[in-house]
Amino acid sequence: MTDPRTAIEYRIPATELRIGDLVNTSPGEGDWQQVTGVYLSRSDATDANLLALIESVSERYVVVQLTDVAPVDSGVYFADGVAMTFGADGADEPVTEVVSAEDGVRTYLYTRFELVTIRASS
C-alpha cells in the first residue's frame, strides 16, 4: 500500500512555475521554499523594484519570489519557560533568534530554459 503522504520530485521549465509550487533551491541539499510570485513579463508585477528588474531581464529570465524559511538544525529545549536551541559553539540561543522572519522573501532569477526541481504531494 502506498503512503498518501509520499512526495514526488520532478523538474519543470521555470516558465511553468506557479504560486504555491514547492521549489528545491539547492537540489541535493534540500532547501525547499514555496513560490509566492512568478514574473514572466512587466505586466505581472506592480512593485517598482520588481518592474525595473523584470524589464531588464524578462527576455532571458523568469523572476521568481520564494519564501525564505531557513531550517533550524538544532535540538530545542526549554529553560525557564523559554524555547532555546543548542548552539554549535556552546552558545545556546532563544528559538526566536534563529527562526526566519515571517515576511522573508527570496528573489531568484531562473533562465527561461532552466528546469527547476519541484515537489508535488500525491
Cell of 83: 524555547
Domains defined for the chain, CATH in brackets? 7-70+102-116 (2.30.30)
Q: Is 8 helix (H, G, I), strand (E, B) or coil?
A: strand
pTM: 0.82
Predicted local confidence at residue 121, as pLDDT? 59
Predicted local confidence at residue 77, as pLDDT? 94
Instruction: Give the separation between CA 122 and CA 119, rounded to whole angstroms.
Output: 10
Instruction: Give the separation between CA 65 and CA 50, rounded to whole angstroms.
Output: 10
Question: What is the full per-residue pLDDT of the chain (122 aa) written as tens digits?
Answer: 688 788 889 999 999 999 999 999 988 888 999 999 999 988 888 889 999 999 999 899 999 999 999 888 889 999 999 999 998 787 899 999 888 888 889 999 999 999 999 997 55
